[in-house]
Amino acid sequence: MAETTHSSDETAQAGPSYDDINTPVVIMWGFISAVVTLVTILTISGVYNVWSASVIKKREGQFVNQPAREQVVQQMNILTGGDGSLPITDAMKKVVDQYGKSH
């Protein structure tokens, strides 16, 4: 049932009825908001994936030799003698000469 309201000149006019919902407009705005939400989620996900991949690739390129790794490489170079492999007795003598007796 429509309400009546009074305008400034006091004549009765039909007011809006709150029982009438414009269903097509509500459905249209719901669909538009769902599409915008989906596009936003996919865009943010894509940006994150690109950023994450670039950070991982950048980290792989910035490998820093750790002191322990450098020491192992130096010891391996001593053991191999630079010309190939050595017999274990010669390698042990070189290590003992280089670093002294072990405990």
Least trusted range by pLDDT, from 6-10, 25-29, 84-88: 6-10
Name 5's Cβ contacts closer than 8 Å, sequence gap at least 6: 12, 13, 15
Whether 81 shows a pLDDT value over 60: the answer reads yes
Position of tokens 């670093």?
99
d(C-alpha 89, C-alpha 85), whole Å: 12
Position of tokens 């000469």?
97
d(C-alpha 26, C-alpha 57), whole Å: 46
* Single pTM value for the model: 0.42
Which alpha helices (H) appear in the chain, and where do they start and end?
23-61, 67-80, 88-99
Whether 2 shows a pLDDT value over 60: the answer reads no
Question: pLDDT at position 98, please?
Answer: 84
